[in-house]
Structure 1
């Protein structure tokens, strides 16, 4: 699919605001809706028409599961806040504060940081480290730079993709960074959310290309970060950065190519396939270095 094809496909635009592109579908009618038209429900987001239908059914006594108060529902309909982004920033920042507490800080870091040695059953199988590596950082500046990048990228990507897809992108990118570290730098201690953040950059680059957006600035940012990553003595895990960026780009490609309503199930299975493939690659260091 070219960027021109993407821009001319009405399924990629909000049905109520044809000038607004979105990746989010109403969970009932499966029409594309922009952040302004979304109402957050326990099972996902729905469009204003479906919300009105449910409210009318509730008034008629046929549906009893709808919220009784309409005020919060209307408020959520225009809620465009990137709540997943905010939650990740808050949890990561709180974890860093815990690592500063004398007596327990080092224990917290040692328990959450990633080292491929803990994927070997004989040493101590601790698979959570593949993802919890994003919660611990080497310094305050390390934390601040990653969280600023996450905040800047999340404000654009999360409303576009939807909260579920954005969280899947972040976690799969983090997993991709840990997997490449396991393959190319076994036994190395790694901390930080850089791999996941690079995944967001990679996804934004790919999605931006499909949307027909000028991605020159993103390409320059990726290039500069790549140069800094490979500087001698930088102490940066380039494996985590590259792994996260590649997986993020792949997930972004999946989102862009499975945008049509009929492709939603295929999108889910492709994401599951990416996760399964990454986990399968972890067998390689266990066999080679074990």
Structure 2
């Protein structure tokens, strides 16, 4: 067992003489070992111990405040703190499925909406919006989603926005069931036109609709009817559903005298979803 160094020697370097003491533990430290403190100096061990104590206290404070304990939870919170996380998530999932379409397989046919199949595979009412007929089809839909989605999401909230998008996509499929029941449909266009309609409805209820928005929607509607291979029921149906949701949310906010309330958004979205479910049931009854 080695003897302790003399009091005038550094506890880490016994061959070095010093008269400076650690402000925390009182041990002698040489110039190389001295760590500057708010008052006096500290030895390296005390510096490490204090850093560990501070990190432990910070973690305890974050946990007490409800902060996530894991790295995954922290990253999830950072993602949710973005201005439009749901829009980004829809974009990312659709892009991932678009990449998977390049691989060998029948992903498009497995996800596409086709009424006879959808009666037994109900996920097709939503998954058809994740597959596209080509690169241009995908690029246009995602460009509009990126431009129109964030302001709507910030206006009505994350979960209401996700619900409105899903209801709109499924509602566009219901419109296809009514007007072209034997056609197969792919693409997010129904949901995209619904976003156009929501934006128009909400802008109209709070003021004046941007003329540029009306021009863009008008041009795209003209393209829908001028070119073949485009499902006009999905486009027109999605636009009508979006208008209903947008005007409904704006009107409910005015009646409730509260701006940006999620309650009014949920009331309108659930009401539209119930109406679409009734319309689909009625259509299936006429076909059976």
* TM-score (normalised: structure 1): 0.68
Report the Cα distance in structure 1 between the residues aligned to 2:139 and 2:229, rounded to whole angstroms: 17
- Are 1:119 and 1:286, in contact at CA under 8 Å, matched by a contact in 2? no
List alignment gaps of at least 5 residues for structure 2: 1-59
List alignment gaps of at least 5 residues for structure 1: 1-57
State the number of aligned residues.
219
Q: Which residue of 2 aligns with 1:238?
A: 232
Q: Which residue of 2 aligns with 1:114?
A: 113
2:147 is the alignment partner of 1:148: no
- Which has the higher mean CA deviation after the structures are superposed, 203-212 or 174-183? 203-212
Alignment of 1:36-75 (within 5 A): 64=64, 66-67=66-67
- Are 2:131 and 2:187, in contact at CA under 8 Å, matched by a contact in 1? yes
Shift of 1:270: 3.3
Q: Which residue of 1 aligns with 2:284?
A: 286
Shift of 1:80: 4.4
Match of 1:256 among 250, 253, 259: 250
- Are 1:183 and 1:284, in contact at CA under 8 Å, matched by a contact in 2? no
Q: Identify if the C-alpha distance between structure 1 residues 264 and 94 changes in structure 2 by more than 3 Å, giving closer, same or farther.
A: closer
* TM-score (normalised: structure 2): 0.69
Q: Which residue of 1 aligns with 2:270?
A: 272
Cα deviations by residue, 1:224-246 (Å, 9 ceiling, x for unpaired): 11110001x43110100011111
Cα deviations by residue, 1:39-71 (Å, 9 ceiling, x for unpaired): xxxxxxxxxxxxxxxxxxx98xxx9462289xx
Q: Which residue of 1 aligns with 2:178?
A: 183
**RMSD, aligned α-carbons:** 2.7
User: Higher RCO, 1 or 2 (CA under 8 Å, sep at least 6)?
Assistant: 1
Q: Which residue of 2 aligns with 1:136?
A: 131
Q: Which residue of 2 aligns with 1:29?
A: none
Report the Cα distance in structure 2 between the residues aligned to 1:68 and 1:191, rounded to whole angstroms: 39
Cα deviations by residue, 1:108-156 (Å, 9 ceiling, x for unpaired): 1111100111244xxxx11111111100100011101110110011132
Shift of 1:266: 5.4
